Amino acid sequence: MTKKILALLLALVMVFAMSACSSTETPAESPAGSNAPAGEESAEPAEETPAASGEVVNLLYYEIGNQDTSARESVQDAINAYIEPKIGANIEFRIVSWADWDSRALTALQSGEEIDLFFTADWKQYTRSVMQGLFTPLNDPNGTYGNLLETYGQDIINSLNPLFITGTQIDGINYGVPVNKELSVPNGYIVNNTAAAEVGMDPATITGIADLEPYLAAYKELYPTQYPYVTDRRWCEDPFSENFVAGLNVNLLSTYLSPKEDGTWDNTVYSIWESPEYTEYANIIYKYAQAGYIHPDTALAQYDALTQFNAGEFLVYTAPLKGNNIKAVEMKNASGNPDLDLSEIYTQPKIVTTNHTGGAMVAIPSTSQHADVAMQFLNMMYNDTELLDMMVFGVPETMWTFAEDGRVEILDSAWYSAHGGAWTFGNTVLQDVTVDEDPNKNQMLQDYSADAVAHASLGFRYKMPAEMETTIAALNNVADGMNNALISGAVDPATALPQYIADLKAAGLDELKADVQAQYDEWRTTVGAIEVPAASTEPAASEEPAASEEPAATEEVVTEEPAAEEPAAEEAASEEPAEEPAAEEAASEEPTESAEA
């Protein structure tokens, strides 16, 4: 009898033990992947985070930048020690260079590699990637993970200007989280104040390219071997919105940037090289080139305008600006020339376009198996300064330390110079700044855009249909052979411009224009037609300081952004790219004229 009782007790003990073990197993699927209705999924976060359950998720993060570095592992270790207890995740960065991004990063994305976080932008095939189903919808209540932004991204929502959310949507859905940085990036000139004083030029009197002529002539007389008008092939008072059509390598079709005199918006899509404004510009820039004001190699892709800029051998330099002389200070710091004395001239109004809002984003690829955890990490990038400082500067007290005034002093720039720059990471307002920057820089960037006006097309993105791919390829082929030459004054517009327009039309420009107009009209009817007040057609030049009182430059890489068609080799502008940014400035700049290939 005793043996029977003992056997029964032993059996009960085994049953309880098995039951306890099974109750602690990790479920096969996360709550977000269950069969519960999407609306219920997104109502509140899962009851148990990976950190609480003991599961550690590895997140692969593709970041654009200059090059990979041996310092990456130590930075990852520091970040992972910090985030693992909070969200139960580890991060592995994969830094891909500007030049290799399309062939390596986009190829990996398109091939189906399991990636959790992925840098993207309007100038890096954001729209096309969405149309190909490569990114997870972030605020679709009917999506696999429900409304990720609502569930896990409250700090993202609360920190971003609503125009960022609207401006990065496609058909009302967000597929990337925009970096919280400057919203409006008007073009203008960076002025060499020393040269301006020599030729008697008052920057406050300059409203556009035509006003510069007597001063360019005077500079050329003083310095016959130099070229006073230095440009990255940008027209500072361009009246059209940049990069209106995804897929074109240059801006060929667009709407006017500013409203009409009566305050309404002209929603017509124009062929910009057929406009009277572009004809006038082409004639002026050709005249300047013939007079020797512009370097003869400016039209060439390999031309490096920064060589002239850094040496201080110029009067004006064309650039996208950010307010408060910030761009001028950033470029001085990056130049290695402490003697530069710079100011800014603004030639466009503060208007927010789609091109500005989508200048830097992070998406969650559809191949990610941990979209909910990836969103939790993204949310930390909008609420946690300690995390952001490690992502930007690297390992504390090893790669950087705080100076007495609370700014960051770089001790080892291996990581800081490897990634794409502070403008690619989260909430820039929460990031600390280096000793070479104004302590209020990031807040000033936000404040500068506070009164910017949303363009009527904000949020519109042209979705290239398959039947237009050949047309766009043909147009790019024509543009690649002539656009740079015309915009930099290398050819006579009297003959070259009519021929260029004829070649574009033969390649299908009018057919593409009609399709873009049709899509834009439909978008305005179904999604857009945003009610926005009219912007002033005059740039707020009075807001900009007359000169810069910048700290001395160091050998560090400054943190800003690239420039157009993919960041330009000669300068990485401050919004969306043109040609891949130069290594010495890429970490500090963000591309300016975007072109989705």
Count CB neighbours of 483 within 10 A. Answer: 22
Q: Give the pLDDT band of residue 53 (cuts 50, 70, 90).
A: low
Distances (CA, A) of 80 to 73, 175, 415, 430: 10, 26, 16, 20
**For the domain bounded by 41-180+360-437, which CATH number is listed?**
3.40.190.10
**For the domain bounded by 187-356+457-550+560-586, which CATH number is listed?**
3.40.190.10
Nearest in space to 532 (alpha carbons), one of 258, 321, 323: 258
Given this model, what pLDDT does residue 50 score?
56
Domains 41-180+360-437 and 187-356+457-550+560-586 share a fold: yes
89 or 3, higher pLDDT:
89
pLDDT tens sequence across 80-101: 999 999 999 999 999 999 989 9
Per-residue pLDDT averaged across 258-287, rounded? 97
Per-residue pLDDT averaged across 306-317, rounded? 96
Q: Give the pLDDT band of residue 382 (cuts 50, 70, 90).
A: very high
* Distance between CA atoms of residues 168 and 578, nearest Å: 19
Per-residue burial over 108-132, b if 16 or more Cβ lie within 10 Å, else e, is bbeeeeebbbbbbbbbbbbbbbbbe
Helical pair 276-290 and 469-487, crossing angle rounded to 10 deg: 40
Angular region, 516: left φ>0, alpha ψ -120 to 50, beta rest: alpha
> Beta 229-230 vs 316-320: how paired, if at all?
parallel
Given this model, what pLDDT does residue 590 score?
52
Question: Which pTM value belongs to this model?
Answer: 0.77
284 or 587, higher pLDDT:
284
Report the range of poorest mean pLDDT among 67-76, 418-427, 531-540. 531-540
Given this model, what pLDDT does residue 272 score?
98
| Side chain identity, residue 436 | D
CA atoms within 13 A on the CB side of 545: 14
pLDDT tens sequence across 135-172: 999 999 988 889 999 999 999 999 999 999 999 999 88
Per-residue pLDDT averaged across 528-554, rounded? 42
- The first and second tokens of residue 505, run together, are 């039309």
139 or 587, higher pLDDT:
139
Nearest in space to 359 (alpha carbons), one of 320, 386, 315: 320
Dihedral angle over CA of 312, 316, 320, 323, nearest 10: 90
Nearest in space to 330 (alpha carbons), one of 457, 185, 172: 185
Q: What is the per-residue DSSP string for 119-163?
A: EE-GGGTHHHHHHTT-B--SS-TTSTT--HHHHH-HHHHHHS-HH
Nearest in space to 366 (alpha carbons), one of 102, 157, 179, 132: 132
User: What is the percent of the chain where pLDDT is above 90?
Assistant: 71
Given this model, what pLDDT does residue 148 score?
97
Per-residue pLDDT averaged across 44-64, rounded? 72
User: What is the percent of the chain where pLDDT is above 70?
Assistant: 79
Question: What is the overall mean pLDDT for the chain?
Answer: 84
Given this model, what pLDDT does residue 591 score?
53
Instruction: Give φ, ψ of 448 to 5 degrees.
Output: -60, -35
545 or 120, higher pLDDT:
120
pLDDT tens sequence across 448-461: 988 999 999 999 99
Nearest in space to 84 (alpha carbons), one of 371, 376, 425: 376
* Distance between CA atoms of residues 392 and 378, nearest Å: 15
β-partners of residue 408 are 402, 434
Per-residue pLDDT averaged across 24-36, rounded? 33
Give the 3-state secondary structure of 390-401: HHHHCCECCCEE
Domain coordinates in residue numbering, the chain:
41-180+360-437, 187-356+457-550+560-586
Given this model, what pLDDT does residue 533 score?
42
Which SS3 state, helix, strand or coil, does residue 51 take?
helix
Given this model, what pLDDT does residue 595 score?
35
